[in-house]
Structure 1
Amino acid sequence: MDDKDFQATVREVLTNLKTIVKIPVGISNHHIHLTETDYKKLFPHEAIKVKKELNQPGEFASEQMVTIKGPRGKIARVRILGPFRSHSQVEVSLTDARKLGIKVPIRLSGNLDNTPGIDLESEYGSLHLNDGVIVAKRHIHMSEKEAALLGVKKGDTVSVSVDNAERPIVFQNVEIRPGKNFKLEMHLDTDEANAGNISGKSFGKIIS
């Protein structure tokens, strides 16, 4: 087998592997990431407390929740996720954004340029964020080794099929987000999950 044939064989193996690997689906409800400074404005005398460890290593849902308020409405009991970040960020669905009365762009986490702000309220204090509200773009977390095996890299987009019996669905433009310690998982928001009747333990497969 010459080099050209070998490379073609490798590409074929990688393509087949993509369609075999089952990707766990994680559903993200609205939530908040805060800087330590912003957290202390809302909870000045209360340390952040872990309620539940999340699937991605080092991340957790906290006991603390706040109310988010927009021009037209508010949403209570929005959970804060840890650990603290370098910039505060609020993630909502498009349905949430309409309820709040704000126009929110679809972005990857951390891409916060030209995003709207919002008011946060706890039982101890309040805080206005000048920016940081996004609808999270659908994406797949995976380790760097998994990305290499699947033949994908950071920034690539793929289509993923989730074959539920009642409402099978294909999600397009799912962005690849590899990281050294990431675990394989596709993240959708509640609007996307409801569109495919996805709940509990579900899996997707890359089809492109």
Structure 2
Amino acid sequence: MRAVGRDIVIDPDQPGSPAFTAPDGLVYVDRAGRSEATARTWREEHDERTLARRATRRMWSAAGAHVAGYVVVGGAAAWGVHALWPSSGVLAVLVLAGVGWPAGYLLADRLVRRSDQPAEPRTVRVPDTVLAHAPQTASPEDLWRWSVAFGDEDGARPVIGYETSVERPADVARAAAARARYTRQYEAYRTAARELGLPVREPAIPLGEPGTH
């Protein structure tokens, strides 16, 4: 574990600072270091208008995929039925609907799921605690890691008790996954707090397997 020097705390307005003040007035850090691309990266990851436009494009892309699946797959199936039984117009229509609709749905669902895969952001908000205790000489990578660790653990605390509650057998797997995720988040937070010389608060739930504490 590497201790952080207590020299000068970070001032995002200072040249060479690893942090920067974004247009929303909050302080962020670019994991790759501040550069000409930082502002564009921040907009792509956090700007509300940019995110709204992206969501709209994704919606229309999903709609297009649904239509394409309906027309191409369903149409091909319906054409095959009509070619085999030319007089079966009603059957062809039923095949078009029965095959095309689920095919379009599956294509749209696949597209949405792929676009919704959570990418690790390059720019993240620096929590106030980290900003107040991280030194000006901190590297962008360290500041990013501390910010993610504090932010993730702090965000998980209000809901982890609910996520790990088990009321019926079907909840066991979900609760175990949530407990494992929070354990990783807490360990990252504890490491970051120690590196920053801060007291480590107790976890929101007992860590480890249920029944071992």
TM-score (norm 2): 0.23
Richer in helix (by share)? 2
Q: Which protein is richer in strand relative to its size?
A: 1
Give TM-score scaled by structure 1 length: 0.23
